[in-house]
Amino acid sequence: MRQGTPSSRQLSDLRFSAPAEYARTLRQAHEATISGTPNPLLSPSLAKSWQRSLALGINPDRHRPLHRHEVSEARSLSANHRLAAVTPALSQLLADETATGRHLLIVTDHEGEVLWRVGSRQALRLADSLEFVEGADWSESGVGTNAISEALVTGAPAQLFSAEHLVRTHHDWACTASPIRDPFTGEVVGVLDVSGPFESVTPDSLRLVRCGVRLAEELLKSAATPDGGIWRGGQPLRRDERTPHDGGAQSQLALRLLGDSPSAAIDGGAPRPLTLRRAEILALLASRTRGWSADELAYEIHGDDGTGAAIRTEMHRIRAVVGSVVEANPYRFSAAVRVVTDASDVASHLREGRVGEAFAAYPAKLLNRSLNLSIGFMRDELNAAVGASVRSSGDARLILQWCTSDMGSADTEAAAAASKLIGPFDPSLQLVSARMERVDRELRA
């Protein structure tokens, strides 16, 4: 560093002493980084969050948040949310509804959807211009990097100032946020955020938000559902929804992993589609009961370029789809959830010697489109097990069906077994024989 050039620490000190100057410096760093020249003033974790947001289609120039619900719908939902019991106390501690109030108190659910906003008319109007309203999705995938999204991804308090936000229309703001956790399970039930013009942030902002979170969690300890019951995802569970840990029937997660359209369903509900990446992670979780560390999963999914932060982001998105069925440290399925996959159904039939049932339950290979090496090994292992079982069954018709399926179309051993059983000149074998001759030519080419 040249003599007289301020360090990142010295520049950061300007956040409170000269906020406008610091904001200008951050905007320059923002422009350089967006243009492909990373600036050391921006932390590596922040830069990675920007990369994830950009990969999700967030446009720094024109992006508006996704809206999970209309404002009126979100307000109705918030009335029955677990945090409704603690929001009045948070408002008394942190909100400023006076005519000159500049900051907003925001409380979101565990996915980053805004459920409550408290502030002056002036502050609310400014927030309206950004669609920072009830029902808006303030997660990383909803609006890009911000303090709420960082709190959700990292599980820790976060403060973003001006151009540390990815979206340029947020550069006049400073936001301080922290997750609120269930005091008994540690599950994130929401996020507390204080946001306003960057000149309004003070050295005490982060401390006050932390105090607010401690207050909320203490109040949650003494709060109870109307029947003294259990909450999950911010909502009270009916007695028929509870797991053994909660004092009720065990939940079931059904994963469809065979073929091209992976999906997940909870307790017999409608299947929810999964992206290929999330299906890969869930398949790996289902393959090992002792679980995976974030670094192990990062390597399995992304190779040498993988990071624990990327896995934590994906886990947040997975929980948004299937609920809190995955525990952390290590990542594994909760003991309160019974996990069933269509691939495990096939394996179960094979273990019990039900070869015909196994083949009937095996319409396609495991995650056909996945290029992941570990998934490829799992796919080949299951396919080889089904093929070997069919070949050894002695059932000529079953072997022929296997040979004409996508899974057994290159199984020359099965074709030879069928030929021995029914004779090489049987008309039903001719198509299989022609296909195997083509496979043989391709292997020798």
* pLDDT one-digit tens code per residue, 33-90: 888 887 878 888 888 899 899 888 899 998 889 898 999 888 888 888 889 989 999 9
Residue 273 CA, distance from chain mean position: 13
Distance CA 286, CA 36 (A): 39
Give the model confidence (pLDDT) of 283-304 as tens digits: 999 998 888 888 899 899 988 8
Q: Which residue has the tokens 């950061």?
A: 12
Count the Cβ atoms, other than its own, within 10 Å of residue 132: 25
Two tokens at 296? 């192990």
If we measure between CA atoms, which residue out of 254, 292, 296, 260 comes closest to residue 275? 260
Beta bridge partners of 276: none
Q: Please give the Cα distance from 45 to 269 (Å, whole number).
A: 37
Q: Cα(first)–Cα(last) distance of the chain, in Å?
A: 60
pLDDT at position 150: 94
**What is the pLDDT at residue 427?**
59
Torsion angle defined by CA atoms of residues 176, 54, 272 and 351, in that order, rounded to the nearest 10 degrees:
-110
pLDDT of residue 244: 42
219, with CB counted inside 10 A (0-12, 13-18, 19+), is middle
pLDDT at residue 440 tops 80: no
Residues in CB range of 291: below 8 A, 6 or more apart: 285, 327, 330, 331, 332
Give the Cα separation of 67 and 74 in Å (integer). Answer: 10
pLDDT for 443 equals: 57
pLDDT reported for residue 57: 87
**pLDDT value at position 120?**
93
Name the fold adopted by 250-370: Arc Repressor Mutant, subunit A (1.10.10)
Find the range with the poorest average confidence among 38-47, 68-77, 212-221, 430-439: 430-439
CA-based diameter of the chain, in Å? 92
- Say what the pLDDT of residue 122 is: 92
Alpha-carbon gap, residue 370 to 356, rounded angstroms: 27
Query: What is the tens place of the pLDDT at every residue in 299-351?
Result: 999 888 888 878 888 888 888 788 878 888 788 998 888 999 999 999 999 98
Q: Tell me the residue type at 261.
A: S
Alpha helices in 323-352 (DSSP H): 342-351
List, in sequence order, every beta strand (DSSP E) within 210-286: 231-232, 235-236, 251-256, 263-266, 272-273
Superfamily of domain 8-222: GAF domain (3.30.450.40)
Rounded to the nearest integer, the mean pLDDT of the chain is 84
33: its two tokens: 């980084």
